[in-house]
Every structure is written in structure tokens, then in C-alpha cells.
Amino acid sequence: MNRLKALKEFGQSIWLDYVQRSLIASGELGRLVAEDGLCGVTSNPTIFEKAITGSRDYDKQLQAILAGNTRAEPATLYELLAVQDIQMAADVLRPVYDITAGADGFVSLEASPHLAHDTGGTLAEVRRLWRAVGRPNVMIKVPATPEGIPAVETLIAEGININITLMFSLRHYEAVARAYLSGLGRCAAPERVASVASFFVSRVDTVVDRAIEEIGTRQALELRGKIAIANAKLVYRRFREIFDGEAFSPMRRKGARVQRPLWGSTGTKNPAYSDVLYVEGLIGPDTVNTLPPATLDAFRDHGQASRATVDEAWDKAESCLEQLKELGIDLTAVTERLQSDGVAAFAASYDQLLTALSEKRKTIIARHLDQQSPGVREE
């Protein structure tokens, strides 16, 4: 059996953490769905920045937009390009959505990272993007910042599918789960809403390993590469407690779905670790793992999916975090900083993208004007 498809046997969906126009138009995305059992796609400003500035896939659409409106601002250009990609990808994944009765087959589009600390702005942006894409199998991404959490509750109550992102700690997760449950309680049709809680993994090891290596003792070094998965496993345990417990029972009877944990940032950053470390260690029911292309290829080639792993050795996970605390490493401080840095990184990518689109806009308009100018005839 295809190794990626084998993950489905344990209740896990695989999504692709990447989107580009050529991936969709070439039929490659459809092939991934058919052959690898791909069930979704995620995007973010960094992904779009690389796709749009690193290829010519979008030049024809840009030319067409600017032919009709030379004053179109870079933010408008980006949104038009991104929305079309999301619509195209959602259409490819629509059969998955239909076959699973709306449980899977989603494509995610992120609200502007500059609104991460603006509840009202996030609400307006998400509502507008939801209408602009116009597909039932889209999720709009909202960060799990203190200002994003109340927006999530309101949007879930309105029946909008939300992917809550940039979560790094159990505290982040619990706030997101509460917002989802509260939103469902106010939703007229809770059975129609879908949501995932995107919990970032490898970035935790990147930062914590650095602190561990600075300490340098044998006890400390034994924890390298273990904290991120331990952190995620304890979030999964809390997920099971919440959604298998009484708090969710009334919503379950109304047909509501659990808010699945989605493991994000699962590409291995440290070359000393297995390139499928954050896939093999987090296999389990009611989860999603969104993989960058290289990790997807690696798991297809040599990944192992012989059992559920996310719901085992919770006591060892607790022990790892306790040992980290004894070393004087404050995981709470680390995860708060990671969330803040994540917002800043996405905002920087967004700004770089707008700058690049501004330059492309100038080039296209100048070329258009040159073509309209009459040539000088020689006598």
C-alpha cells in the first residue's frame, strides 16, 4: 500500500502545505489526491510569496487584471491571485469533500497577518474572503493570538470554516478549543461547520534544542529532538479529554464535528534527525498532518505507518517536559515567543510579496504603454 495512504488506516488525513498555480493547472494536485490520498491543502503568506515571486505562473492573470485596471493596488492583486488559486484547489478537492460528507477536502487561505492583533479587522477580513472564495470546502486561517481567539468564536458561530493557526502550547490549544465549543453553541447549524486547530511542531525543537545545547550536560542533550513531539502529544491528550467528554456531548448529538488537531511545521529542520520524524511520531485518529512537498515525498518513499503513535507514552511526554523545566528552560516563554515570531514572519513575507507585486505592476504597465506608443519611422 502507498505509505501515505496507510496513514488513513489510523484515522489521519494528509494535507499538502504548499500551493502554486502550476501545481493545480498541470494536474499534479489531482494526481496527489488520486494516488496518495491527499485530503487537503494549506497556504500562508510565505508560501504565496515564494509561489508568486519565484515563478511566472501568475503573469498572464496580472496582465489581464492590470489591462482592466492599471490602478489596482498590490494588495488587491495578491488577493485576486490567491483567491483564484484557492478556488482552483478547492475544486480539485471537492470530490473528497463530497465523499466524506464535508469532513475533509479543505483548502486554507490566511487572513492578512497584519490583522493578527485586530479582532474587528480579522472578522471583517475573514467574512470578505469567505464570500470571495465562495466554496464550501475552504477554511480561512486565523492566528491563535489573544485578539484572534474571540474572532474565532464569532466566526464559528456564523458558520464559517476556520483553521486556527500559530499554536505552540497547551495554553494556546485550550483557548482555541474553548472558542470552538462556544462558537458551536451559538451556531444555527453546527453540523455544517468544520475547523482544525493547527499546532506547530518542529519550530519548538529548533528553539529548545539550541537552549539544550547551550547547557550541554548529558541529561540535557538526551532531550534533543524530543520536546516538540512530547508537547504535541499532550495537546492530543487534552483534545481527547475535551471532545470525548461531556463538554462536547450536546454538540455531538446535534451532528457537530470534533475540531481536529492539525500538525503544522512538520518538515524536519535539523538534518541530524529523520526527515519523517514529525510524521511518524504523531500518527493517530482525528488528526491532520500538513506536509511540505519534500516531507510528503520522503514519507511516500520510506515513512513507516504501522501503528498510532500520538496516543502512546503520554507519561514519557510529561516526563520530558518536566525534565526541561528542571533544566531551567521555560517552555511557556519559548512558545509565546514562537507565536509572536510566527506572526512577524508571515507579515514580513506578506510585505515582501506586496513589494514584488508593486514592481511587477510597474513593469507590466510600462510594457503596455510602450506597446501603445507609435514607433518612430525612419525616412
The residues assigned a catalytic role are 141
Q: What is the Cα gyration radius of the chain?
A: 22
C-alpha cell at 49: 510569496
Dist CA 294 CA 276 (whole Å): 10
Dist CA 13 CA 283 (whole Å): 10
213 to 56, 275, 341: CA distances (angstroms): 43, 21, 21
CB 353 within 8 A of CB 45: yes
CA dihedral 166, 283, 210, 216 (to 10 degrees): 150
Dist CA 321 CA 327 (whole Å): 10
Give the single-character DSSP code of 374: P
SS (H, E, C) 217-263: CHHHHCCCCCHHHHHHHHHHHHHHHHHCCCCCHHHHHCCCCCCEEEE
Strands 40-42 and 195-200: unpaired
Amino acid at 15: W
Give the helix ranges, DSSP H, for the chain.
3-6, 21-25, 28-36, 45-53, 59-68, 74-99, 119-133, 148-157, 170-185, 202-215, 218-221, 227-243, 249-253, 277-280, 293-302, 314-326, 331-372
Instruction: Quote the Cα angle for 322-312-143, to 5°.
Output: 70
CB 323 within 8 A of CB 215: no
